[in-house]
Amino acid sequence: MSRLLEELGRSAGVSVAVAPATPDLAHIAHLVEIPVLAQHVDPVEPGPRTGFVPPEAIRAAGARGSLVNHSEHPLPPRDAQTAVTLLASLGLVSVVCAADVVTARTLAHTKPDLLAIEPPELIGGDRAVSTAKPEVVSGTVLAVREVAPDTGVLCGAGVHDRRDVRRALELGSEGVLVASAVTRAPDPKKVLADLLSGF
């Protein structure tokens, strides 16, 4: 799947990245040239950290950054701040996830590279946030620009096709975060090509 994403992204002229499961980070990072991100990183320094994933571990695996505070692995705001700081100190990219505009504004103070707005109730669903709750996307874009103008905004949750992508871009998002639409698709190549055509 990662090689396919790399190939299709290159053909479409769209910047893409992949976030595989932690056990697959090193394998995928050595397989493709596109950025590979961890799905989660713990806000801890290296040391006796059994069961934790320090930023140094994902860097050693070849990842170029990590998602932080995904709805399936949320962190308190202070821990999200620490994670972003630790990632930045290692030259790694942070993609901080937020469930709503208020949370997005709070987390924008961490100054992540990217902030992804993903209402949990729409993740994996049939309706994209860009059409079901467009005010959440545009509100997040405004909130982030006020607090952290250098932070890019991504739109996730229910994004399925090029229309969802186009609508997200119209609302001010710089890109999308997608999982279920591709991983559950009978023909992932067709879905990826369609999504990329939205750019």
CATH assignment of the domain containing 9: 3.20.20.70
What is the spatial distance between Cα 25 and Cα 185, in angstroms, rounded to a whole number?
22
Q: What is the pLDDT of residue 120?
A: 84
pTM, whole model, 2 decimals? 0.94
Q: Can you tell me which residue has the tokens 């545009």?
A: 138
Would you place residue 49 in the very low, low, confident or very high pLDDT band (cuts 50, 70, 90)? confident
65: phi then psi, degrees, rounded to nearest 5: 170, -165
Burial of 151 from C-beta contacts in 10 A (0-12 / 13-18 / 19+) = buried
Q: Which of 6, 7, 40, 70 is catalytic?
A: 70
The number of distinct structural domains making up the chain is 1
Largest CA distance in the chain: 47
What is the spatial distance between Cα 193 and Cα 96, in angstroms, rounded to a whole number?
26
Beta bridge partners of 116: 97, 154
* Average of per-residue pLDDT values in the chain: 94
Q: Which two tokens stand for residue 7?
A: 């190939």
Determine whether 73 is an active site residue: no
Q: Would you call 23 helix, strand, or coil by DSSP? A: helix
What is the spatial distance between Cα 156 and Cα 139, in angstroms, rounded to a whole number?
14
Alpha-carbon torsion, ordered 188, 99, 154, 41, to 10 deg = -80
Q: Are 93 and 65 in contact (CB under 8 A)?
A: yes
List the strands of the sheet with 37-38, edge to edge: 37-38, 65-68, 93-98, 114-117, 152-156, 175-177
Say yes or no to pLDDT of 142 above 90: yes
By residue range, what is the domain housing residue 45? 2-197
Percent share of the chain, pLDDT over 90: 85
Determine whether 118 is an active site residue: yes
Q: Which of 118, 121, 135, 146 is catalytic?
A: 118
Q: What is the pLDDT of residue 129?
A: 85
